[in-house]
């Protein structure tokens, strides 16, 4: 695969969606969960979406239940939670796996283009590293994503240009999105 436009994913209804439909837009592709300590990231994500969508920005939300079972609901339950609690309007796709033998090919691709480099510094990093290492042992070399709310920034040509772990301040993510626009 040469870029993200080569991939097809499923929407919440199970319909195939070509990422080529997003050609020419800056994308932030995120694996999410509704019961995670990082779930409040939905607020700044939605704020960024509202502020920048008219400039050619899209957030693609992929719920995942592989991290401590923090996204246990159905696709519709997850969508309802996000729209009611956080007012999300950006596209939300079908729940997927991001690690292991059943990992969605898009996330395996994203993670090979921008591999994990650590959670940063501080208390969040120390705590999250412990949980992530325990959780990801079962995936071995196919532990592509280390935790919920990992974000990949994709430029208008479909190239992966940045990876943000959930511990990265959302202001830094916003700054990178603005630069890509």
> Which residues are catalytic, by number?
36
* Tokens encoding 154: 């994709």
Rounded Cα distance, 154 and 29, in Å: 8
67: left (phi over 0), alpha (psi -120 to 50) or beta: beta
Give long-range contacts, CB 8 A cutoff, 24+ apart: 156-162. Answer: 156/23, 156/24, 156/25, 156/26, 156/56, 156/180, 157/3, 158/2, 158/3, 158/4, 158/5, 158/6, 158/19, 158/23, 159/3, 159/4, 160/4, 160/110, 160/113, 160/114, 162/114
Interacting residues of 85 by C-beta distance below 8 A, sequence separation 6+: 42
């Amino acid at each position: 695969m040469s870029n993200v436009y080569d991939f097809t994913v499923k929407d919440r209804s199970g319909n195939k969606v070509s990422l080529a439909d997003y050609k020419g837009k800056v994308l932030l592709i995120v694996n999410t969960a509704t019961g995670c300590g990082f779930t409040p990231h939905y607020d700044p994500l939605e704020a960024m979406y509202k502020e920048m969508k008219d400039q050619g920005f899209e957030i693609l939300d992929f719920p995942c239940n592989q991290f401590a079972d923090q996204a246990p609901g159905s696709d519709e339950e997850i969508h309802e939670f996000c729209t009611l609690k956080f007012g999300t309007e950006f596209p939300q796709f079908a729940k997927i796996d991001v690690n292991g033998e059943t990992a969605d090919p898009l996330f395996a691709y994203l993670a090979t283009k921008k591999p994990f480099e650590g959670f940063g510094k501080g208390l969040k990093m120390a705590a999250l590293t412990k949980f992530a290492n325990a959780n990801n042992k079962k995936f071995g070399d196919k532990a592509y994503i280390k935790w919920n709310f990992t974000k990949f920034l994709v430029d208008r040509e479909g190239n992966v240009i940045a990876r943000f772990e959930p511990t990265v301040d959302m202001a830094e993510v916003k700054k990178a999105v603005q630069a890509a626009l």
